[in-house]
Amino acid sequence: MSVLTRNEAQTRAQLLDVHRYTVDLDLTTGEATFDSTTAIRFTARTAGDTFVEIKPETLRSLSLDGQPLDPERLDGNRYPLDRLTAGPHELTVAATMRYSRTGEGMHRFTDPADGETYVYTQLFMEDVQRVFAAFDQPDLKSVFDLTVTTPTGWTVLGNGVSTQAADGRWHIAPTPPISTYLVAVAAGPWHSVTTQHAGLPFGIHCRRSLAPHLDADADEILDITRACYDRYHEKFDEPYPFDSYDQAFVPEFNAGAMENPGLVTFRDEFVYRSAVTDTERQTRAMVVAHEMAHMWFGDLVTLTWWDDIWLNESFAEYMGYQTLTEATRFTDTWTDFGVARKGWGYDADQRPSTHPVAPDPDAVPDTASALLNFDGISYAKGASALRQLVAWLGEKDFLAGINTHFSRHKFANATLADFIDNLATATDRDVHTWADAWLRTTGVDTLTAHVETTGHSWNLTVDRAGDRPHRITVGTYDHSLDTHTGTDQLTLRDRFDIDIPQDGTPVTQPGHRPDLVVLNDHDLTYAKIRLDPGSWDTALTHLSGIPDPLTRALVWNTARDMVRDGELHPTVHLTAARTHLPYETDLALVQGVLGFAATQIADRYLPPQDRPTALATLTSLCRDLLRRTEGLTAKDWEQAPGTTTPGSPDPGLRLIAVRHFIDAATQPDAIQDWLREGTVPGGPELDAELRWRILTRLAVLGATDETAIAHELDKDPSATGQEGAARCRAALPTAEAKAAAWQAMFTDDTLSNYLFTATAQGFWQPGQSELLHPYVARYYPDAIALAARRGPAIAEAAGRHAFPAHAVDPDSIRLGEQALTDPALTPALRRKLTDQLDDLRRALAVRDAH
Ligand SMILES: [Zn+2]
């Protein structure tokens, strides 16, 4: 198979003008394959040679302008169209195509809960070629007109409104011009909730076995959808460009969601079967808002080539968080962004694989290299850069520039240069220079505060390691005594903006020096922050007393990257968590800090002999949180999301404490009691997610067996149950269990992407290093062969979840470095391994630093 290069795409875009695809898919031809017939109408501007792409099981026939062509001439995924004459043409291609089990192309899933089958497409990058023949590149936009034949009882969803012409034969309304990677079909006996908004049909869909869970949240999901839709119409001059808005929650989906015009697909874990926190609801709302932003940025105006993926993703990410705060009950989204997303960007930006937010086009020569850029740089750093741009430009000018961008390039394509030129029309500021400094460079700047007292005033100087301009807010805080409670707290004295670099003179402020000076309060820029020593002492002792959660998030992020840089002992971070989290009210912060403490500090940064003590600290912290949230009634657990009474215990906080207590338990007794009783004392009652979580932990501890796992699977035979059982079985601390799990992951090529991931998640456990030691060396050759056989999605899962991430030792790193020289390594796995090895090196350096 050949990957498309940028040069080939440019040549083909100059030659061809594509008008219309008429596609006929027959989904009734068996479980392994489906039939695909495509007619493409296009014009060649001059005479020339080109090719069309398809990845068929069997290419049955082709014709050009009515003349048959020889199917044998297919070369990999390319069919040559030689000596094409100038003028209009029609190419028809008939083929048998294979269903996918990896979430790429036309994925087919049979629900173990009820035996119903569903199929959906994920055609991103170049997977349209797995479904029908196409000139597959983003800047050859066309009208798509699809007809789909299905078994009776199915519904077909597509980019446009779908109608059933005869039994099982569905026609989808033709699209306006869109890119090949954005075509979508989802077919099956969907459960649907439909409504109308602003004169358009809106629908949400899921498989039937999840129907009660979708129904329970339908109002919430549709309210968010309507609120975002209305807010985008206030921001954008161009109206929503498509004829309907469907959101389908589909099984075994690899990403969070995909922005197909008129038919967004989401992973169906977003249809919550078990109790979730309000932060998780906010995440779902954020994904709804993110994907809808893509309808304009990505779908209406599309990147010309894949080097500008960041422009799509950064924009949608920024707009998603910002629009939620403006239009919905989730008004604190930037705290979650600070805690859950920014670290992803900072981490990626400090690895050897980092790249500029906007890479040089030459650095993205083909689709395989473009696929590597779906990372913390393109999403989190890019969105942080846009947030800083808005702080610097002002939102009014930013939106004016965006609207110019939409009106100039609608239903067409644009580049970064177009985007910057369009922004420049709206402001006097030098956007081109800003873009060079922020988008064309790599790495994280560090801003360090120096505070000194001078008589009746104090001075602030900010040192900058790095070259970017920053506009930041400085927050100053003082101790005060709450006379009612007798407790010490921090109150805000002042906030002011400064530009960095400073012009050579320090900022002078009246009065004594504040107890705490916070750089980048409001978190408007993207940089590492180092407080002055006095402020750092105040922060460590009074972190939970800082009034604004976004400021607390910033201080926690500072502590986090000081640990990663070897500047703060991991146990100091753990002690701060033990001290302050019991008083933390922001769920995203509790979740984020506990997650880092458990998976990084306890599992990686501390030497193995210190891990039991760290886990004991975490379980006692969780017990504290459980005590703080006692007294919840059954009614509290059932009440509408987001309606917690201020001052009363938060069920979400209790749920986080329960989950982390389970994951950190070193003795089986307490959680075994919970499982037997079916409830945590004082609630919650255990739902399927918590039962599987406990059973997984018991498996890790060797306190359960196959009989108990099989019994649990009888009670929950759903797809999630199958994943839970696979995770438990792989976690059992026996040589037989590990051998069976390894065999399944690396030799069974029918294993779905989701069952692969669940097995991998169970397999590696930091407390089982002796048992797992032989697999560290086996991992590299087995993963390299697997990635070559099964493609990018499985390569990603193998690199992320099946990697021996707890083998923090020089031997393991050496094995990995040798593997990087293997010529059989695919680009997707190489990137994953490079990053994982860098994380291992960093963990080793943190251990060595103290
Ligand atoms: Zn996106």
pLDDT tens profile 720-753: 999 999 999 999 999 999 999 999 999 999 999 9
Q: Are 92 and 39 in contact (CB under 8 A)?
A: yes
Closest CA to 266 of 278, 254, 280, 277: 254
Q: Quote the mean pLDDT of the chain.
A: 96
**How far, in Å, CA of 473 to CA of 462, rounded?**
12
Q: How far is the CA of 19 from the centre of ligand 1 (A)?
A: 27
Is residue 782 over pLDDT 90? Answer: yes
Is residue 534 over pLDDT 80? Answer: yes
Q: How far is the CA of 267 from the centre of ligand 1 (A)?
A: 13
What is the pLDDT at residue 455? 87
Say whether 677 is catalytic: no
Note the pLDDT tens digit of each residue in 587-623: 999 999 999 999 999 999 999 999 999 999 999 999 9
What is the pLDDT at residue 480? 85
What percent of the chain has pLDDT above 70? 99
Q: How far is the CA of 293 from the centre of ligand 1 (A)?
A: 8
Q: What is the mean pLDDT of residues 478-484?
A: 83
What is the pLDDT at residue 481? 80
Q: What is the mean pLDDT of residues 10-16?
A: 98
Looking at 769-826, list the stretches that DSSP marks H as alpha helix, in order from N- to C-terminal side.
Answer: 769-790, 792-800, 810-819
Q: How far is the CA of 796 from the centre of ligand 1 (A)?
A: 18
Q: What is the CA radius of gyration of the chain?
A: 28
- Name, in order, each residue with C-beta under 8 angstroms of 521's C-beta and a sequence gap of 6 or more: 472, 473, 474, 475, 495, 548, 550, 551, 554
What is the pLDDT at residue 488? 75
Is residue 489 over pLDDT 80? Answer: yes
| Residues forming a β-bridge with 33 | 98
Neighbours of 378 (CB within 10 A): 25
Q: How far is the CA of 291 from the centre of ligand 1 (A)?
A: 6
**Two structure tokens written together for 23:** 């596609």
Closest CA to 584 of 621, 545, 554: 545
Residue type at 302 in one-letter notation: T
**Two structure tokens written together for 231:** 């807010």
Q: What is the dihedral of CA 412, 417, 418, 420, to 10 degrees?
A: 140
**How far, in Å, CA of 330 to CA of 285, rounded?**
8
**Two structure tokens written together for 401:** 């520039």
Q: What is the mean pLDDT of residues 15-42?
A: 98
Residue type at 347 in one-letter notation: D
What is the pLDDT at residue 387? 94
Q: How far is the CA of 9 from the centre of ligand 1 (A)?
A: 23
Q: How far is the CA of 404 from the centre of ligand 1 (A)?
A: 21
DSSP structure string for 126-184: TGGGGTS-B--STTS-BEEEEEEE--TT-EEEESS-EEEEETTEEEEPPPSSB-GGG--
What sign does the CA torsion over 725, 727, 733, 736 have?
Answer: positive
Q: How far is the CA of 125 from the centre of ligand 1 (A)?
A: 13
Neighbours of 415 (CB within 10 A): 18
What is the pLDDT at residue 643? 67
Q: How far is the CA of 378 from the centre of ligand 1 (A)?
A: 10
- Name, in order, each residue with C-beta under 8 angstroms of 56's C-beta and a sequence gap of 6 or more: 36, 74, 95, 96, 97
Q: What is the mean pLDDT of residues 766-787?
A: 97
**How far, in Å, CA of 719 to CA of 755, rounded?**
9
Note the pLDDT tens digit of each residue in 118-152: 999 999 999 999 999 999 999 999 999 999 999 99
Q: How far is the CA of 165 from the centre of ligand 1 (A)?
A: 34
Is residue 646 over pLDDT 70? Answer: no
What is the pLDDT at residue 354? 95
What is the pLDDT at residue 321? 96
Note the pLDDT tens digit of each residue in 384-415: 999 999 999 999 999 999 999 999 999 999 99
Note the pLDDT tens digit of each residue in 74-97: 999 999 999 999 999 999 999 999
Query: Element (H or E) spanning 850, and its range?
Result: none
Is residue 11 over pLDDT 80? Answer: yes
pLDDT band of 645, cuts 50, 70, 90: low
What is the pLDDT at residue 484? 76
**How far, in Å, CA of 433 to CA of 206, rounded?**
47
What is the pLDDT at residue 362? 87
Is residue 371 over pLDDT 80? Answer: yes
**Two structure tokens written together for 243:** 């004829």
**How far, in Å, CA of 107 to CA of 104, rounded?**
6
**Phi then psi dihedrals of residue 479, to 5 deg:** -65, 145
Note the pLDDT tens digit of each residue in 240-287: 999 999 999 999 999 999 999 999 999 999 999 999 999 999 999 999
Is residue 70 over pLDDT 80? Answer: yes
What is the value of pTM for the model shown?
0.96
What is the pLDDT at residue 218? 98
What percent of the chain has pLDDT above 90? 93
pLDDT band of 449, cuts 50, 70, 90: very high
Neighbours of 664 (CB within 10 A): 21
Note the pLDDT tens digit of each residue in 784-816: 999 999 999 999 999 999 999 999 999 999 999
Q: How far is the CA of 547 from the centre of ligand 1 (A)?
A: 33
Catalytic residue among 126, 291, 584, 689: 291
Is residue 642 over pLDDT 70? Answer: no
Q: How far is the CA of 639 from the centre of ligand 1 (A)?
A: 32
Q: How far is the CA of 451 from the centre of ligand 1 (A)?
A: 41
For the sheet with 528-530, list strands across it. Answer: 507-510, 457-465, 446-454, 528-530
Note the pLDDT tens digit of each residue in 314-366: 999 999 999 999 999 999 999 999 999 999 999 999 999 999 999 988 889 99
DSSP-derived 3-state class of residue 594: helix
Closest CA to 268 of 802, 697, 593, 719: 719
Q: How far is the CA of 467 from the centre of ligand 1 (A)?
A: 29
